[in-house]
């Protein structure tokens, strides 16, 4: 374990207690909601794109366990200035790397909820997906 994982745990707690970009955007390009019913996590991701498809602003709101909320907070800062394509190319490993701690298989769904919600929101916006809400079942 060592120092590393403690530092990351602190980071997760910090993002949980002091979430970045918490709230809703006034005029998002797309907005989407999802939930992880097993844990009771619910997250809304608002994303604003510029004309080139670059992510200008991200906000999240919702409620849930520390991992889901910290993950949403970190993602909201990570995605800024990236192209929406980069969001769509992200996978579970990118999120776990961002969180930096070993997450038990049970909690992976908490960790990837924000990413999945943001990705589904982008796909709906692009006309590639048709769902009302995202569920990590």
The CATH number that applies at residue 65 is: 3.90.1010.10
129 secondary structure, DSSP code: -
Parent domain of 48: 2-131
Q: Is residue 56 part of a domain?
A: yes
Outline where 61-128 has alpha helix (H). Answer: 66-78, 84-89, 92-99, 108-125
107 secondary structure, DSSP code: G
What global pTM score does this model have? 0.94
What is the per-residue pLDDT across 70-107, written as a single tens digit (0 to 9) for each?
999 999 999 999 999 999 999 999 999 999 988 999 89
Q: Is residue 108 part of a domain?
A: yes
Alpha-carbon distance of 88 to 85, in angstroms, equals: 5
Question: What's the structural domain count of the chain?
Answer: 1
Q: Is residue 136 part of a domain?
A: no
When pLDDT is averaged across residues 6-34 and rounded to a whole number, the result is 95
Q: Is residue 137 part of a domain?
A: no
* Residue 2 confidence class, pLDDT cut points 50, 70, 90: very low
């Amino acid at each position: 374990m060592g120092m590393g994982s403690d530092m990351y745990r602190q980071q997760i707690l910090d993002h949980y207690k002091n979430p970045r970009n918490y709230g809703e955007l006034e005029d998002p390009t797309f907005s989407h909601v999802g939930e992880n019913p097993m844990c009771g996590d619910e997250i809304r991701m608002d994303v604003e794109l510029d004309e080139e498809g670059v992510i200008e602003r991200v906000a999240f709101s919702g409620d849930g366990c520390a991992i889901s909320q910290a993950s949403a907070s970190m993602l909201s800062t990570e995605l800024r200035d990236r192209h929406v394509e980069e969001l769509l190319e992200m996978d579970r490993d990118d999120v776990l790397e961002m969180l930096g701690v070993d997450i038990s298989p049970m909690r992976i769904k908490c960790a990837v909820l924000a990413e999945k919600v943001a990705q589904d929101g982008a796909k709906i916006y692009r006309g590639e997906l048709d769902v009302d809400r995202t569920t990590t079942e």
